[in-house]
Amino acid sequence: MKREKGLLIVLSGPSGVGKGTVCGALREHDTDIKYSVSATTRSPREGEQDGVSYFFKSKDEFERMIRDGEMLEYARYVSNYYGTPRAYVEEMIDKGHDVILEIEVQGALQVKETFPEGVFIFLMPPSLKELRSRIEGRGTETDELIDSRMTVAEEEIDLMDKYDYVVENDEVQAAVERIKSIVTAENCRKDRLIHLYKQLMEG
What are the tens digits of pLDDT across the range 150-169?
999 999 999 999 999 999 99
Ramachandran sector of residue 110 (left: φ over 0; alpha: ψ -120 to 50; beta: rest): alpha
Query: Using N-to-C axis directions, what is the helix angle for 143-157 and 128-138, rounded to 10°?
Result: 140
What are the tens digits of pLDDT across the range 177-186?
999 999 999 9
**How many alpha carbons lie under 13 Å from residue 138 in its C-beta half-sphere?**
18
User: Rounded CA gap, 74 and 83, in Å?
Assistant: 4
> In this predicted structure, what is the pLDDT of residue 67?
95
User: Rounded CA gap, 141 and 150, in Å?
Assistant: 12
Amino acid of residue 155: E
Give the pLDDT band of residue 64 (cuts 50, 70, 90): very high
Fold of 8-37+97-202: Rossmann fold (3.40.50)
Query: In the predicted model, is pLDDT for residue 31 greater than 80?
Result: no
Reduced DSSP (H G I as helix, E B as strand, rest coil) percent helix, strand, coil of the chain, to 5: 50, 20, 30
Query: In the predicted model, is pLDDT for residue 1 greater than 80?
Result: no
